[in-house]
Structure 1
Amino acid sequence: MKKRLLTSIVATLLTSNVLANTENMTAHSAFKAELASMQENYYRSLRLDDWIAMGMTEKDISTTMARLKANKEGLLIDLNNPNTRGHWTYEFTKTAQNLEDQANTLNTPTAYGRASTVYLVASYPNLHQPNEIAALDKAVDLYLKAAKLNGESVEKVDLKRFDNRSIPGLLHLPTNTKTNLPAIIWTGGVDKTLIEHKTDFKSLLESGYAVLTIDMPGAGLDYRNHLKLGEETASHDAAFAFLQNHPQIDRNRIGVLGSSGSGVALIPFAVQQTDLRAVVARCALVDGPIGKQATLKFIPDMSAHSFIARIGGDAGDMRYFKNMATKFSIANKGMFNGQLRIDTPILVINTKKDPVAPIEDMKRTAELSTEGEMFISDEVGHCPDSLEAQNKIIAFIKSNV
């Protein structure tokens, strides 16, 4: 599938004056094992297979990317993103609008799901620009429409933080049971949004679990907040309190899963919230490249800019990145000094070689718990995508929550 898609994209772009960007490709390759052959020319990580799995078609991607204009010589095709023709969010939004019009006629969950995914890609990587936010809002609205047409129970909810600020979330409830539900807080990383994880937790819903998806502060729909030093657990705390006070949830059976960049909030939350039944740290960032200023340069620009936006800076402010990023490292906070121990079961899961969450970080995270477990699935790349990893996560949750 990928070969046919990329052949189409490459053919449409051969006439543009695009120069290979070796450093960009190297940085992206370090984070993900399998990348599109055109990745060297793109600022955004081309997660083509993921997008197709979520509902897009090859044509949606290839025809839209063919409309993207190359920037000035030496720059990446999608580095600049004004709300004008030839730029990422504008062009993917145009495609999504056409698909939304078709969905309004067809009125099927598949049609709305496809349009929702394209709007989501249009918003990627969520750097708080107005055009990105508008696309993300549409993506969530159509996600909810598709779910309703499919007979699913999903609603957008507001979670209240300690400071009374609001956090948006999506509460997914199983259709076969109604009360005393075990529940999981499920959150992604710096460039994942709360509607991207459905296939990963579908089997939990079918087994009678409720799943509350939230974005990490500063990401996705939670763009009004940001990850703040000393208040890293604010969103997780709000989600936990919401579930504990929900009439359909068993307050004594709540677990949490966090991926990638959300690890800097997940681990402090897991340490502080002793009423959790289980914690899954999936490719969770706890130290790695943010541990030292010298290693920040190995993070791809898109991921760096996303992280900056999550911790309260302007996306391109690399000085802010250097000054602040290391302060969010769990290791730099002294949490890996060997004195901190909790009893909540923790599953730490990742690939064998991941620059974001390397083996040593995985070991130190698992050792925080008297019931810590480390599981290696895929060989290389940031975050395990295999069925083996997904099955391990689901089995761990079911056995502990």
Structure 2
Amino acid sequence: MKLYRIITLLLLLASHLQLVRAQDYAFNSAEEAISGWYHTFDYKGWASRGVDLENAQEVIGKIAQSTGEKRSSDFVDSQIEFGPGNWVYEWIQMGDRTLEEAEKLTGSTRLSKLRSALAYYTIGSWPHLGRSDDSQALEKAVSTYMQAGEMMTVPVRHIDLTVNGKTIKAYLHVPAGEGPFPFVINSFGSDVTKEDSFDLFYRELGPRGIGMLAVDMPGIGEAIELSMQDGSDAVMEGALGFLKNADYADSRNIFIVGGSFGGNAAARAFYRLDVRAVVSMCAPLHSALVAPPEVLDGLPKLTIDGVKARYGVLDRPTAELTVLTKQTSLKVQGFFDAGNKISKPLLIVTTNRDPVSPLRDLDMLLESAADSEVIILDMEGHCPPRWAREPMIARWVADKVVN
């Protein structure tokens, strides 16, 4: 059974899938993409994560005045030297200032400040290329995440997972109450780390009695020793093995949720892993992964740098990347051609004008699903905003829990 829905913000309207060409649409909205800047300004998304927009404007103003040597003359925010005017430096300063404020507070006001500091650090590290300056910001984000997570009724645990013989880190959130609990394994994309998962548990999953194991994609964050060439769902598979052996996790109710490249991993897991259900959001499944270099170079440089870093070819020509991304296509891997229907529930969440996740690619995935639902937000750009999609995802997961 297929159920299609198209959403204008939160208004549900019946619709059908359209065929689109990826290159027809912008990756970011006009409000986010500012000419002359490497990074984009997602003010609404930042605010939903606890960013004080006056503080954000202060940081951006300092970066705009940068006079240091640039990594690229095209981008004002690409100062190389780690100091005043450098993107990472200025966001770290704001994070440190906010963290100092949090240390003087208690209860919900302290948690609010910690969420803000966490957001400043992750924005500073973004797109998490593993360079020395952004690694400093990410280390501070990890520490701040743990401080915020320790304020949960059941404190967060920073656990080890073994993936392809290597040890990586993940955040384990167990809900309050008596288990075993349903669990979500959550991962984001090529330029977003698991440190952005906090609100999904804090606001949505935890209150519904659902646990979360937040992981990084291969090649990013605390899974940087891995590569997308190890398999996009390799970390998810390791996380699943961990939860299957945990007495607090209900092995009948383990869900996989992934966005962007994490959505590719979730779609691959849909075919390969024994889980209750899968949520795949705005996933590059085929077309963008087999596109020629000139098409990929038409996407934002930050985005392509993030993808290159995940494959271990940062600062290399895009032609080298396309050889690798082709092997991540689910069609090239043969999953779309298997011919069998898969019974586990599948939810797809996307926009109807996503340049790297065209609806025709999603339809190939849906052909394999016996029980699927599609939620399409009527908007241009890659991926629905987290503040809009996460409540929908949590409700859907809760509805799919079996007793």
- TM-score range for the pair, normalised by the shorter chain length: 0.7 to 0.9
Residue pairs, 1:1-400, within 5 angstroms: 30-36=26-32, 39-68=34-63, 69=66, 74-107=73-106, 108-149=110-151, 151-161=153-163, 163-175=164-176, 177-201=177-201, 202-229=203-230, 231-273=231-273, 275-293=274-292, 294-337=294-337, 339-385=339-385, 389-400=389-400
2:45–2:385 Cα contact (<8 Å) kept: no
1:197 is paired with a residue whose SS is helix
TM-score (norm 2): 0.85
Find the aligned partners of 1:210 and 1:257 in 2 and give their Cα distance: 12
Letter in 2 for 1:352: N
Deviation, 1:352, is 1.2
CA distance in 2, matches of 1:357, 1:117: 27
- Post-superposition Cα deviations, 1:82-126, rounded to whole Å, max 9, x if no partner, equal 423311111211222222222223352222222221111111110
Say which is worse superposed, 116-125 or 389-398, in terms of deviation: 389-398
Structure 1 runs, 4 residues or longer, greater than 6 Å off: none
- How many residues in Structure 1 have an aligned counterpart in Structure 2? 370
Q: Residue by residue, what CA displacement relative to the aligned partner does 1:285-321 show, whole Å, maximum 9, x if unpaired? A: 2123222215323321111110011112224542422
The offset of 1:241, in angstroms, is 0.6
* TM-score of the two chains, using structure 1 as the length reference: 0.85
> Contact conserved, 1:28 with 1:45, CA < 8 A, in 2?
no
Q: Which moved more, 1:294-303 or 1:71-80?
A: 71-80
Q: Is the 8 A contact 1:378 1:384 kept in 2?
A: no
Higher relative contact order (CA 8 A, sep 6+): 2
Q: Deviations over 1:27-73 (max 9, x none)?
A: 9971123523x611211122222222211212221111112116669
Q: Is the 8 A contact 1:350 1:376 kept in 2?
A: yes
| Aligned-pair identity (%) | 25
* SS of match in other structure, 1:352: strand
**1:308–1:317 Cα contact (<8 Å) kept:** no
Q: Give the CA deviation at 1:239.
A: 0.4
Q: Distance in 2 between matches of 1:383 and 1:154?
A: 28
How much has 1:375 moved relative to structure 2? 2.2
Matched residues in 2 for 1:35 and 1:29: separation?
Answer: 15
One-letter amino acid of the counterpart of residue 111, structure 2: P
Partner of 1:7: none
Structure 2 letter corresponding to 1:203: E
| 1:138-190 deviation digits (Å, cap 9, x = unpaired) | 112112212323545322111111x3211211111112x23211111011111
Measure the CA separation in 1 of the matches of 2:249 and 2:241. 11
Q: SS at 1:368's partner residue? A: coil
One-letter code aligned to 2:372: G
Matched residue SS, 1:284:
coil
Distance, in Å, in 1 between the alignment partners of 2:90 and 2:338 is 51
CA RMSD of aligned residues (A): 2.4
Identify the range of structure 1 (143-152 vs 297-306) with the bigger mean alpha-carbon deviation: 143-152
User: For 1:94, what is the secondary structure of its paired residue?
Assistant: helix
CA separation in 1, counterparts of 2:199 and 2:24? 25
